[in-house]
Structure 1
């Protein structure tokens, strides 16, 4: 008697397979947007479009992965591992941008922040190196100044008991430590000339550029440091300029306390 073996074919969830593929594909799309923009091979708008496409792919993949998880759980089909992986990869890709956007949506649409909005540090060397299609280097005026005061009340000048020359050297060292690209560094000259440092700061992931101007002005008790940071492109800095200024001022105050 010949016994027949019964083979049961295990079905694989197509949704789980495609969610995993989309999640994997979103990673190089996002990475490509960052790499090409940092290398100067993509302009701002195409880079944002490419980044947005990668994030949409990650979002769709995560949503498909969630649906595929429940389908495989209920039916017993293969693919639950890939569904979980798709959700995990999509979540990792989306986590950083989602946190930045969530914070930025609660802030006013500003691209230029200064510790002294009524008399912000000016751009001189950067005027020559500024791309024509970039945001204007002219400060936003009284409306922008009032919006800044409401959103960032802690953005203020730092008064030091050091001489203007000492303050200039300390600030210059902090700028160099941050690896900002310095375009000009004019040391102060007593009460006759303010010190000024102009540099370009680059964001760590996408490489978005912001123009920074730092002024060191003599005072009766020492020196006052003012900082201005202006996003080169976009209509909203999502709070990055204020964060940059706050971090620099905090390091400056800490550095002077150690001396």
Structure 2
């Protein structure tokens, strides 16, 4: 007598759901990154991808449990669906952990935000109201996101800032270089995050020929939560700027040092007789 071995329906559904979840998650991120879909559509697609991935994991677990009991076929499909579902859920788990670590915030600055104006996106009429941290929260979560003061001229520090922005590959939108009147120098740049959100960075350098003060602002243009990205970006950039200034001062120890002129009252006699 021939024994019929069935293929578990749970295994089939686990594979199907996992195969749908992968392109749903990848395509939603890709289309948002390329600005082919709006932020609201991206959020809905991302949530849909998470739901499908979760169902794939659930179906895979149920399929494996039933296969262990019944001896039906479908181990490969069950494991594939489980793997694809878990793979799709990894970024959601990562951002979930960040959401538990950082409170909702979309705008962070080292000083008053009105002195660091945003350019916004071309054609953008308005932005959602920013979510801000209290001063105590900012100092606790991002202790290194503070104003920097350097013993270099405004122009020298601004040149370092421009170089670091270029090295980071940020899209510069506006530059107001230092001038002879030592007006505040500004640089606005836009950053596209991996999920496709647009962030804007504002850097301001004030000072004179002897010293320079650097302030920075990083804001999410339309994201509902930055997951700590703005604060970490400010800390990382200012740490790189600290390093760049340190290297410049180390390699040029006399930079920005006043020249010492010889005293006109001191006369050096070259023809003085040698001492006995």
TM-score (norm 1): 0.86
> 1:256 pairs with 241, 245, 251, which one?
245
**Equivalent in the alignment of 2:7:** 12
C-alpha root-mean-square deviation of aligned residues, in Å?
2.3
Whether 1:152 aligns to 2:147 is no
TM-score (norm 2): 0.81
Offset at residue 120 of structure 1 (A)? 5.6
Whether 1:113 aligns to 2:108 is yes
Q: How many residues are aligned here?
A: 248
Distance 1:100 1:161 in 2: 40
SS across alignment from 2:145: coil
Indicate how the Cα distance of structure 1 residues 84 and 221 shifts in structure 2: closer, same or farther if over 3 A, else same: farther
Distance 1:216 1:190 in 2: 14
**Equivalent in the alignment of 2:200:** 211
> 1:123 pairs with 117, 125, 139, which one?
117
**Equivalent in the alignment of 2:178:** 188
Aligned ranges for residues 169-184 of structure 1 at < 5 Å? 169-184=159-174
Partners of 1:171 and 1:252 within 8 A in 2: yes
SS across alignment from 1:258: helix
**Equivalent in the alignment of 2:46:** 51
Distance 1:191 1:146 in 2: 36
Q: Which segments of 5 or more consecutive residues in structure 2 lack a partner in the other structure?
A: 249-276
Distance 1:76 1:256 in 2: 68
Whether 1:224 aligns to 2:219 is no
Q: Which segments of 5 or more consecutive residues in structure 1 lack a partner in the other structure?
A: 1-5
> 1:39 pairs with 11, 34, 59, which one?
34
Offset at residue 174 of structure 1 (A)? 1.5
Distance 1:80 1:158 in 2: 59
SS across alignment from 2:101: coil
**Equivalent in the alignment of 2:125:** 132
**Equivalent in the alignment of 1:3:** none
Distance 1:33 1:226 in 2: 35
Distance 1:9 1:45 in 2: 49
Partners of 2:152 and 2:209 within 8 A in 1: no
Offset at residue 127 of structure 1 (A)? 4.8
